[in-house]
Amino acid sequence: MMGKTHMAVGAAAYAVVVPPPDKPSITELVAWLTGLAVCIIAAIAADVDDPKTYAGKLIMPFIPRWLRPTAFAVVGILAIWHGYNQSNQILMLIGFGFFGAAISRHRNSPTHSPAGLLCACVVVYIYSPMLLIPILTGYSSHLIIDAITEGIPWAWPLPGWFKIPLFKTGGFFDVIVFRYGAVLVFLNQIIGNDISAFF
């Protein structure tokens, strides 16, 4: 799926999993919007391994595509080394993720697997447990909708893909059904009425 579709589906999934509060205080509204923003970022985070994707362009815009694997490998090795020297398992976990992304092609890296999801959840939970649900929701939505297009390596680092090729990335179902359908679901959750009755 395309980056905009991942963001729309992530936002809709978050609005369903964590419905917006009814008549919220400022604190509740800020907390919900923060969760929404984190979920949208998590929904595209798995694509950080490819410089052609929306996430890849945002995270490392100044590193040329041909140099990206080397940069990921260097960051990974440095994180593993510093994590080992400081007895910081989280830093080592991040390093292994970067190194795995460096030696894998897009959608065959740890970022597109349950291992990547687990790493992201552990790191975020240690940093801020409040953000676990948004990360889990956004990242999971990415993996699920990629599984129904081009497939993902569910058992990474073992070989083999899980794939249900129902739709084509960039096709009618990607843009119209998933992206705009997700926007309708999101608006339905926000407004609180059945807006589908208007169509």
Q: What string of DSSP letters covers 60-118?
A: STTS-GGGHHHHHHHHHHHHHHHHHHTT-HHHHHHHHHHHHHHHS-TTSSGGGSHHHHH
Within the chain, which residues score under 70 in pLDDT? 1, 49-61, 65-66, 100-109, 156, 162-163, 170, 193-199
pTM of the model: 0.75
The Cα 39–Cα 194 span in angstroms is: 24
Nearest 5°: phi and psi at 41? -65, -45
Q: What is the pLDDT of residue 154?
A: 78
Q: What is the pLDDT of residue 198?
A: 46
Q: What is the pLDDT of residue 16?
A: 92
Task: Put residue 170 in one of left, alpha, beta given phi > 0 → left and psi -120 to 50 → alpha.
Answer: left
Percent of residues, the chain, with pLDDT higher than 90: 16
Residue with tokens 């899980």: 162
Q: What is the pLDDT of residue 199?
A: 47
Q: What is the pLDDT of residue 56?
A: 65
Q: What is the pLDDT of residue 51?
A: 66
Please report how many Cα atoms fall inside a 13 Å half-sphere around the Cα of residue 3, on the Cβ side. Answer: 14
